[in-house]
Amino acid sequence: MLYISLILGFLFPGSMAMGDGLPEYRLKAAFIFNFIAYTQWPNDLGDEVALCIVGKHGFGDEIDSLNGRQVNQRSIVLAFKKYFDDLQQCEVIYVANDAMQYLPEILKSVENEHTLTIADTENAIERGIMLNMLLDDNRVIFEANQKVARDAGLLLNAKLLRLAAKVHQ
């Protein structure tokens, strides 16, 4: 039931306000799940999607709920990394606020990979992140950088892009 609520909440973002009793990072975890669901990779990922969390995040146990979840017939495998770890096996990287100082190194380490990058830091889109979550009037919204995603060989679904507060071409 929670899964259906999160999907419906994502498709109807007005219901994703924190005032509705959903904590910020529970919403952000749901967004990450849906970002994965609505992204197309150019090659078969196999049975698993590696979601790597880089830096000290604010998710608490919320992010753990994604570990093992099925998305598009694949199982999400959660890994916690440091910015200097090998990130090439990660299909999805969430860069926490404290790791943004290392963003150039993180992006360089996966520049020849098909890696979806996600953050929740002001101006992250302009710095090369593909999907960035922000708070706006007590709601979680997101921006998309379609050009950066396309350059990495990723296709962000049109449904996802329609829900973005801003799409950078």
Domain boundaries, the chain: 2-168
pLDDT of residue 8: 42
pLDDT of residue 16: 53
Degrees to nearest 5, angle at CA 45 with 43 and 131: 85
2-168 CATH, one of 2.60.40.10, 3.40.50.2300, 3.40.30.10, 3.40.50.720: 3.40.50.2300
- The arithmetic mean of pLDDT across residues 158-169, rounded, is 96
pLDDT of residue 84: 79
Give per-residue pLDDT as tens, 111-144. 999 999 999 999 999 999 999 999 999 899 999 9
Percentage of the chain exceeding pLDDT 90: 73
Degrees to nearest 5, angle at CA 106 with 34 and 136: 45
Helix and strand numbers (H, E) in the chain are 5, 10
Rounded CA separation 20/128 (Å):
32
Enclosing H/E stretch for 26 = helix 24-37
Is the per-residue pLDDT at 39 higher than 50? yes
